[in-house]
Chains A and B, each alone.
Chain A
Amino acid sequence: MTPGRTLPYGQWRRLGRIDDIDLYEQKARRSMKHGKGLFVASFLVLPVGLYLWLVILPFIQAFQISLTDWSGYTTGFNYIGFDNFINMWDDPKQWVIPGFRHTGIILLVLPVIVIAMALFFAFMLNVGGRSQGGVSGVRGAGFYKIVYFFPQVLATAIIAIVWAQIYKPPTTGGLLASALQAVGLPYPENGFMGSTGLVLPGIIAVMVWSSVGFYLVYFSSAMAAIPQDIYEAARIDGASRTKTFFKITLPLLWESVQTAWIYLGIIALDGFVLVFMMTPSQGGPNHASEVIGGAIYKFAFGSGNDAGMASAIGVVLFLGVLILTLVSLRVTRRERVEF
């Protein structure tokens, strides 16, 4: 090996061997080209193949199935045009319309509550402290962050079982109703999941419980990027904490809030697991907690026995997601602040 042969580009330049640099680059370029096509193909064939086969193809098939009357378990089926898309709004099982309504409610309520709480916590834990000099979080901020984030690593299935136990009626040892009973407050006789008025708020509360910590940590890292002297200046000017939050923190975090909004929207569409595991007859009582994912599941794999309908609802859901994402990106767009 000739000396200097393995030196990186920068060191060659420093050594002043100008003539050799062209040679170096040429050689690098030539060896990068050699066997490139085969290499690229060999690295792409498996991931792309698998992805096309198990993700893209089923999605295309779902669009096709949505135009049929296929139950899913027979060999034959007929193309019936857009009948499924019309019939779903007149569904005798009462899954579809309540499903869309409740998913819509979750979609409106969940992001607002989670983002408001996460922002408040993040602000308190990062800049809420008012000790002498410097900008810092309240005492115990590290501890709070660790605790709040924890539900995020628990499987949704476990969260559902734990909260199902908490929501049970007092007669079977439900924590919350028993506590209300003990202090003499009104409580739902059949448990929270057995009451038509409380079942949906109860599900939303669990979704909030499990996701606040994640967005708290996410907003915290965004807040850490805001320069300290901006807060210093505000403090010297005598700005209160509330004012600091609304005039400084929130505007500078806008982009993160926007991203969080979209992700929470996706989570809101996914309330199915909780509803499936926690509510009576997976959407009850009396259809008070039907969600759209549940409707799709029940048509495809439950008692609905109508794969065509399930796919049609899925297509509507997909288009809804697409439109909502585009609209929310447009509505919340703001000028970006560089700092």
Chain B
Amino acid sequence: MTTAQLPPKTEKATPRRKSADDQESSRVLNVFSHGFLILWAAMVILPVVWVMINSFRASGDIKSNPFGIPLEAHWENFAGAWVEANLGQYFLNTVIVLLMSVTGTMLLGAMAAYVLARYDFPGNRFFFMMFVAGMMFPVFLALFPLYKTMDNIGLKDTHVGLAIVYIAYSLPFTVFFLTAFFRSLPHGVAEAAMIDGAGHYRLFWQVMLPMAKPGLISITIFNVIGQWNQFLLPLVLMNRNKDGQVLSVGLASLTSEAGKQVDTGVLFAGMALAMLPVLIAYILFQRQIQAGMTAGALK
């Protein structure tokens, strides 16, 4: 970090010379700033490393010395988490639900957004505003009536039911984001395709969707992460189907007072298993994920 202290080279332009006091205070600030940067990085990395290390240790060791390193690798923690604590099943359930819900969200979201963005018809503005308004509603308010609705039609405690609820609650943002995206696509191509005899449906599937690919990728990443992290909806809508539960709520049941008490080593292995796929995906695709989530979340 010493190079940061060098005065700027003089051949470009001559900065006003700083007083000794200025330099001193700037050095203090510099040390403080870098110290803080490193500290925060450690605060993010250490818990993750701690979980990974403890996932190999026996329960008693973790409790007696939380800082220790594993003397021998307790692989049985992982077997316990995957099979006995049912994480394998929870993983599978989450993947099944997400396959349905993300596909459905993208399909319905793209269809609605495309029509709202590129076709002029009475009520267009109204439908758009209706979707946008949904971003303002706190889910808590709708939770109980939603629970009753799903119960009445027999879709509570089912993966299909959970998936369609995810779709409905992901639509406002997806439609909002993709409408802006479809509006930005050039009109000339669509016209040319129409002249060539493509119908509305073919125009959408074969011309407009491929052109919207960058926007679709961003919002897909956003929805995958958002729906993977869902907690409140599965907690309520799958409350009677313990074996069908998704990963986030399944993990929570490992620690809850009411649930079965799980061995601490197994709990750490469970955390490690739940973190690992996310960590790997993040390291591989961190650029796309950062872009997708920030472009997606804040427009």
Contacts and interface: CB of A to CB of B under 8 A. Distances in A.
Given A121-B40, A150-B44, A28 B127 contact: no
B200 to A, nearest CB: 4
Nearest to A315: B141
A106 interface: no
B12 interface: yes
Interface string B270-293: 010011001101100010011001
A55 B137 contact: yes
Interface stretch (A85-93, A292-300, A329-337): A292-300
Contacts of B171: 47, 50-51, 55
A301 B236 contact: yes
Contact of A58 (B37, B149, B199, B228): B149
B142 A155 contact: no
Contacts of B20: none
A109 to B, nearest CB: 18
A272 interface: yes
A339 interface: no
Contact of A47 (B13, B111, B200, B204): B111
Nearest to B286: A146
A249 to B, nearest CB: 14
Contacts of B15: 235-238
B72 interface: no
B199 to A, nearest CB: 7
B9 A62 contact: no
A57 interface: yes
A119 B38 CA distance: 16
A44 interface: yes
A164 B138 contact: no
A138 B4 contact: yes
B47 A237 contact: no
Contact of B274 (A155, A163, A314): A155
Q: Give the secondary structure class of A's interface.
A: helix
A304 to B, nearest CB: 11
Interface residues of A, number: 118
Nearest to B234: A157
Given A46-B108, A317-B141, A173 B62 contact: yes
A172 B44 CA distance: 22
Given A156-B231, A178-B67, A55 B239 contact: no
B222 to A, nearest CB: 11
A59 interface: yes
B16 A237 contact: yes
Contacts of A259: 298
B115 interface: yes
A318 B225 CA distance: 25
Interface residues of B, number: 113
A235 B275 contact: no
B138 A321 contact: yes
A10 interface: yes
B108 A47 contact: yes
Interface string A224-259: 000000000001111011100000000000001001
B1 A139 contact: yes
Contacts of B41: 143-144, 147-148
Point out which of B36, B137, B281, B293 has the most chain A C-beta atoms below 10 A from its C-beta: B137
Interface in A69-92: 72
B8 A153 contact: no
Given A50-B164, A133-B12, A238-B16, A62 B142 contact: yes
Contacts of A307: 144
A179 B46 CA distance: 13
Contact of B13 (A36, A124, A218, A236): A236
B34 to A, nearest CB: 7
Contacts of B121: 36-37, 40
B247 interface: yes
Contact of B114 (A43, A277, A315): A43
A323 to B, nearest CB: 12
A65 B298 CA distance: 33
Given A153-B225, A311-B144, A5 B195 contact: yes
Contacts of A58: 142-146, 149
Nearest to B94: A155
Contacts of B264: 172-173
A166 B140 contact: no
A136 to B, nearest CB: 10
Contacts of A65: 144-145
A186 to B, nearest CB: 18
Nearest to A311: B144
Contacts of B194: 27-28, 31-32
Contact of B200 (A35, A44, A311): A35
Nearest to B198: A31
B1 A158 contact: no
B168 interface: yes
Given A36-B119, A39-B200, A236-B15, A10 B188 contact: yes
Given A150-B48, A237-B15, 16 more contacts: A10-B188, A32-B194, A40-B115, A40-B119, A48-B112, A54-B168, A55-B168, A58-B144, A121-B37, A156-B248, A173-B264, A213-B44, A259-B298, A263-B297, A277-B255, A301-B236
Q: When A and B form their complex, which 3 residue pairs have the shortest distance between CB atoms, in order from nearest?
A: A314-B141, A238-B16, A157-B248
27 contacts: A8-B192, A27-B194, A39-B200, A50-B164, A51-B171, A55-B134, A59-B137, A62-B142, A62-B144, A128-B33, A130-B4, A138-B34, A154-B278, A156-B229, A157-B251, A161-B252, A161-B255, A161-B267, A161-B271, A217-B290, A217-B294, A237-B16, A277-B256, A301-B147, A314-B138, A314-B143, A317-B141
